[in-house]
């Protein structure tokens, strides 16, 4: 119904030959990453596989699929509507998952969300219908789980407008998170560009046991590589340990690779993937992949001598891997379970656990739920109740229907768990959390992937930790962050001391997966007559106006809008939660621009000095004042600026409000590309210490724009308030095409001009 088998057959028919060609041209054994990327080079590209420099060259690729979730699809499709095409050029889907708020439980929450977001869901459904896009209705599930169950295939290349798109790496697909503008290009039939990534090999040996799970692999890797360590890199997992993990376990690892900034992560094809394909109704695909299995994984010479082929190699022994808990406030603060209780005490983090939350796109497989349910069932039989609030978010309707049929949800219910809708919910701050006192420092633990401040409930006092669903379940039962289920006991309702046994679970439901209504809606065969409605007075949707082209001169006299200090993620730049409702309305959502960023001069958020009046005001307000006065401005940031989400609103808002330059110590990949796509200047300090030279009342000029060239630095003249001036060197990573985007005022202006030229 939803998957074009014939297309896949053709793909695989050419696959062996294409791999051989690439191997011959490179004249050496290949990693899986290279096989997939190099067999997906854009046909007009004259890139020679052997000469591509990892981490340096920008390369054009031809992805097989595009996936979009409701919060980012709005902007992606508003842009696509401007491209002037009758239908999408590659198979694409939209998934309604981010806009469903968790409050009371699945049924009422879903009904309320459908009602509240009607206008947006109707818009997405009609655009999908018109342009040939598969539409997954609210309640069908979280994008990445639905993709894994239906569309992901070994050896494919997919892009998705969500940073956890890499989830499909668990089925051997290179799946990369991008901004909506990139998705728009690919749907419009253009090439997709990526800097040739470095390749990090992760050698997994041994086998997990007891309380350890796949999640602990990525929690450990996050601790090793940190939130920046995967930047511009693909992680390729291999070894006997890799083959011992279920496909969904592999997906958990790939999914959370987003948290170390990795371009994506991938596992080679093996019998566990074949098993998953068969178990999810794709026998035909498994038969095809089995026939070319050795071509869907890295060459044996590579895995036998990894240091010769990978840019970096990490070794992890699964036999010895302990469960981990990461956090608070950042996903790379990794604590082995045995050291966690002490860390909680030493740092004074609240030991009482308020809420445990399992599920999300990272951890909501049948295996995850059955292992967690085994703990809940034990707890119930040992007369324990969850001492914390406890919620369960299934990843898809298929998983939910099946675990309900198999009686697993009853176990959660028996200890006080609440099942939420198959959606992102609390993971993205769509959580009407009832709290007695928001000022109180409090702790929550989730099996999600991100734990930045305020992410789940908007409360800066919430300390969020991340762990596997089985550890979260155990801690929620104890109600105590310092509980170690491997060594500690609990007192039950009858006053007896009891311990929890190791979790048990199954990768597959013994009776197979089942679903009554998957929630899929196929597009119209001919969408020409389908009308897409956007009400001109809507406060949720707004058609886009093209951004203005570059004026052709250097940019001068720009005030500093904000110098952001420390972590400035996309959640700080364009917060989610309550703001998700404006994802289709650029002007309205711009009112959240940078309101979470910390002002380096005052330590406060959402308060910056307006250079025109001297008064402090909210960031979006001050920027609107500059815009009204015809002044462009500059945002200064620290390391890894824009880490986190793929949301391009974080790039479009400053563009819309008239910020011209984002100048930082370093960028996160997706955000840097998003800025370039929108025609912004995304620049870095050549000398990182120059960050300290920027003063609150500086005016800035960016010089050298008429000679803007790849690899050639630009200059900035800073004029301080006392009239003294300094010149800094600014680096950039723009290539020719990206410079053309800057000149045109954004990539879309070029696409539109091309489409008009063809018609």
Any residues with CB less than 8 A from the CB of 568 and at least 6 apart, and which?
Answer: 597, 598, 637, 638, 641, 642
Tokens, residue 695: 């003063």
Q: Total binding residues for ligand MIC by CB under 6 A?
A: 14
- Using CB under 6 A, pick the residue from 173, 424, 694, 748 that binds ligand SF4: 424
- Spatial distance between the Cα atoms of 742 and 750, rounded to a whole number of angstroms: 10
Stretch that binds ligand MIC, among 47-55, 105-113, 473-481, 638-646 (CB under 6 A): 638-646
> Which CB sits closer to ligand MIC, 163 or 297?
163
What would the two tokens of residue 520 be? 């899929």
Segment interacting with ligand SF4, rule: CB under 6 A, options 219-227, 421-429, 499-507, 542-550? 421-429
Start-to-end CA distance of the chain, whole Å, equals: 33
Name the segment binding ligand SF4 (CB under 6 A); options: 187-195, 201-209, 373-381, 424-432.
424-432
360 touches, from ligand MIC, ligand SF4, none (C-beta below 5 to 8 Å by class): ligand SF4
72 near ligand MIC (CB under 6 A) = yes
Least Å distance, CB 185 to ligand SF4, is 22
Alpha helices (H) in 382-456, listed in sequence order: 397-405, 408-414
Tell me phi and psi for residue 196, to 5 degrees. -50, 115
Tell me the helices (H) and strands (E) count for the chain, helix number first.
25, 30
Kindly indicate which of the ranges 44-52, 158-166, 180-188, 335-343 contains the residues binding ligand MIC, using the contact rule CB under 6 A. Answer: 158-166
Of the residues 428, 471, 598, 694, which one makes contact with ligand SF4 according to CB under 6 A:
428
User: String of b and e for 614-629 (b: at least 16 CB within 10 Å)?
Assistant: eeebbbbebbbbbeee
Pick the closer one to ligand MIC by CB: 164 or 400: 164
CB of 544 to ligand SF4, least distance (A): 24
Kindly state the tokens that stand for 479: 């109600």
Buried b (16+ CB within 10 A) or exposed e, 41-64: bbeeeebebeebebeeebbbbbbb
Q: Which of 203, 324, 433, 647 binds ligand MIC (CB under 6 A)?
A: 647
Phi and psi dihedrals of 636, rounded to 5?
Answer: -110, 140
- 208-247 positions binding ligand MIC, by CB under 6 A: none
Cα torsion 731, 164, 593, 569 to 10°: value is -60
- Angstrom distance (rounded) from CA 249 to CA 252: 5
Stretch that binds ligand MIC, among 159-167, 214-222, 390-398, 614-622 (CB under 6 A): 159-167
Q: Which is nearer to ligand SF4, 265 or 599 (CB)?
A: 265
CB of 174 to ligand SF4, least distance (A): 18
Instruction: List the one residue out of 239, 220, 308, 233 whose CA is nearest residue 265.
Output: 233
- In the list 150, 449, 484, 574, the residue contacting ligand SF4 (rule: CB under 6 A) is 449
Question: Does the protein bind ligand MIC through residue 364 (CB under 6 A)?
Answer: no
Q: Give the per-residue contact string, 155-194, with ligand SF4 (x = CB under 6 A; - = no).
A: -------x-x------------------------------
Largest CA distance in the chain: 79
| Helix (H/G/I), strand (E/B), else coil: 435 | coil
**Strand spans (E) along 252-318:** 264-267, 312-317
CB of 297 to ligand MIC, least distance (A): 28
Binding mask 66-105 for ligand SF4 (x = CB under 6 A): -------------------------------xx-------
| Contact track, ligand SF4, 287-316, x by CB under 6 A | ------------------------------
645 binds ligand MIC (CB under 6 A): yes
379, HSE (Cβ side, Cα atoms, 13 Å): 31
Residue 97 in contact with ligand MIC, rule: CB under 6 A: no
- Choice between 152 and 750, CB closer to ligand MIC: 152
According to the binding rule CB under 6 A, does residue 256 interact with ligand SF4? no
Q: Are 561 and 634 in contact (CB under 8 A)?
A: yes
Which tokens go with 360? 């999300």
* Element spanning 490, H or E: strand 490-491
Q: Which of 19, 62, 142, 716 binds ligand SF4 (CB under 6 A)?
A: 142
Catalytic residues: 97-98, 162, 450, 645, 647
What are the angstrom distances between the C-alpha of 379 and each of 211, 376, 390, 402, 414?
15, 5, 13, 22, 9
- Measured from the CB of residue 316, what is the shortest distance to ligand MIC in angstroms? 25
Binding of residue 68 to ligand MIC (CB under 6 A)? no
CA distance 342 to 178: 39
Which partner, ligand SF4, ligand MIC, none, binds residue 500 by CB below 5 to 8 Å per kind?
none
Among ligand MIC, ligand SF4, none, partner that 448 touches (CB below 5 to 8 angstroms by kind): ligand SF4
576 belongs to the binding site for ligand MIC (CB under 6 A): yes
Q: Per CB under 6 A, which of residues 143..162 are in contact with ligand SF4?
A: 143, 162
71 binds ligand MIC (CB under 6 A): yes
SS3 content of the chain, % helix, strand, coil (to 5): 40, 20, 40
Residues 6+ apart with CB under 8 A from 24: none
Q: Which does 647 bind (CB under 5 to 8 A by kind): ligand MIC, ligand SF4, none?
A: ligand MIC
- Of 223 and 429, which CB lies nearer to ligand MIC in the complex structure? 429
Q: Say how far apart CA 532 and CA 30 lie, in whole Å.
A: 46
- The answer, yes or no, to whether the previous bond of 627 is cis (omega within 30 of 0) is no
- For ligand MIC, give the closer residue by CB, 563 or 647: 647
Given 420, 428, 532, 619, the residue binding ligand MIC (CB under 6 A): 428
- Token couple for 370: 């059955």
Binding site for ligand SF4 (CB under 6 A): 97-98, 142-143, 162, 164, 360-361, 424, 427-428, 448-449
């Amino acid at each position: 119904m939803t998957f074009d088998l014939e297309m896949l057959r053709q793909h695989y028919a050419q696959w062996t030959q294409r791999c051989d060609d690439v191997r011959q041209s490179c004249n050496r054994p290949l990693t899986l990453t290279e096989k997939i990327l190099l067999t997906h080079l854009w046909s007009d590209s004259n890139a020679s596989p052997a000469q591509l420099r990892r981490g340096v060259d920008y390369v054009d690729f031809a992805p097989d699929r595009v996936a979009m979730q409701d919060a980012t699809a709005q902007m992606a499709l508003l842009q696509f509507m401007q491209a002037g095409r009758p239908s999408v050029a590659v198979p694409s889907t939209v998934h309604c998952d981010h806009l469903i708020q968790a409050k009371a439980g699945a049924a009422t929450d879903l009904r309320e969300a459908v009602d509240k977001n009607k206008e947006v869901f109707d818009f997405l459904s009609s655009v999908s219908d018109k342009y040939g896009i598969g539409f997954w209705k609210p309640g069908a599930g979280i994008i990445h789980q639905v993709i894994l169950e239906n569309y992901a295939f070994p050896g494919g290349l997919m892009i998705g407008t969500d940073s956890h798109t890499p989830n499909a790496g668990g089925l051997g697909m290179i799946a990369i998170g991008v901004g909506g503008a990139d998705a728009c290009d690919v749907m419009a039939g253009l090439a997709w560009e990526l800097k040739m990534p470095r390749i990090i090999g992760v050698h997994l040996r041994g086998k997990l046991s007891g309380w350890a799970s796949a999640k602990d692999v990525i929690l450990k890797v996050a601790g090793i590589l940190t939130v920046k360590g995967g930047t511009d890199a693909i992680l390729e997992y291999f070894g006997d340990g890799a083959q011992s993990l279920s496909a969904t376990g592999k997906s958990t690892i790939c999914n959370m690779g987003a948290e170390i900034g990795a371009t994506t992560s991938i596992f080679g094809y093996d019998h566990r993937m074949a098993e998953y394909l068969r178990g999810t109704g794709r026998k035909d695909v498994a038969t095809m992949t089995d026939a070319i299995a050795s071509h869907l994984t890295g060459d044996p010479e590579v895995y036998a001598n990894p240091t010769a082929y990978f840019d970096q190699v990490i070794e992890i022994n699964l036999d010895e891997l302990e469960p981990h808990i990461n956090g608070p406030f950042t996903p790379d603060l990794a604590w082995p379970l045995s050291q966690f209780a002490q860390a909680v005490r030493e740092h004074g983090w609240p030991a009482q656990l308020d809420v445990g939350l399992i599920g999300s796109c990272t951890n909501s497989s049948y295996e995850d739920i059955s292992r967690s349910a085994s703990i809940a069932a034990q707890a119930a039989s040992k007369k324990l109740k969850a001492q914390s609030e406890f919620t369960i978010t299934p990843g898809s309707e298929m998983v939910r229907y099946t675990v309900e049929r198999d009686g697993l949800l009853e176990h959660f219910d028996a200890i006080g768990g609440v099942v939420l809708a198959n959606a992102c919910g609390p993971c993205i701050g769509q959580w009407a959390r009832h709290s007695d006192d928001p000022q109180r420092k409090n702790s929550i633990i989730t099996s999600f992937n991100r734990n930045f401040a305020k992410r789940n409930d908007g409360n800066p006092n919430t300390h969020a930790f991340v762990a596997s669903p089985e550890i979260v379940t155990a801690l929620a039962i104890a109600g105590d962050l310092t509980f170690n289920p491997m060594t500690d006991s609990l007192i039950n309702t009858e006053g007896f001391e009891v311990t929890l046994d190791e979790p048990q679970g199954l990768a597959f439901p013994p009776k197979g997966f089942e679903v009554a209504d998957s929630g899929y809606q196929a597009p119209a065969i001919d969408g020409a007559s389908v009308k897409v409605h956007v009400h001109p007075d809507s406060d949720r949707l707004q058609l886009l106006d093209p951004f203005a082209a570059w004026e052709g001169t250097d940019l001068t006299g720009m005030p500093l809008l904000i110098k952001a200090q420390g972590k400035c993620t996309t959640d700080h730049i364009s917060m989610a939660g309550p703001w998700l409702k404006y994802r289709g309305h650029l002007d309205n959502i711009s009112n959240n621009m940078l309101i979470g960023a910390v002002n380096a001069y005052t330590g406060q958020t959402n308060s910056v000095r307006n250079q025109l009046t001297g008064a402090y005001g909210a960031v979006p307000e001050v920027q609107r004042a500059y815009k009204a006065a015809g002044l462009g401005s500059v945002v200064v940031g620290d390391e890894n600026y824009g880490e986190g989400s793929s949301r391009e609103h974080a790039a479009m808002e400053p563009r819309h409000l008239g910020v011209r330059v984002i100048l930082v110590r370093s960028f996160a990949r997706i955000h840097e590309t998003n800025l370039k796509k929108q025609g912004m200047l995304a620049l870095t300090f050549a000398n990182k210490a120059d960050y300290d030279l920027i003063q609150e009342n500086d005016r800035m000029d960016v010089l050298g724009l008429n000679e803007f060239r790849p690899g050639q630095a630009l200059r900035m003249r800073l004029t301080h308030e006392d009239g003294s001036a300094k010149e800094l060197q600014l680096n950039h990573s723009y290539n020719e095409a990206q410079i053309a985007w800057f000149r045109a005022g954004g990539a879309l202006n070029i696409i539109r001009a091309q489409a008009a030229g063809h018609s």
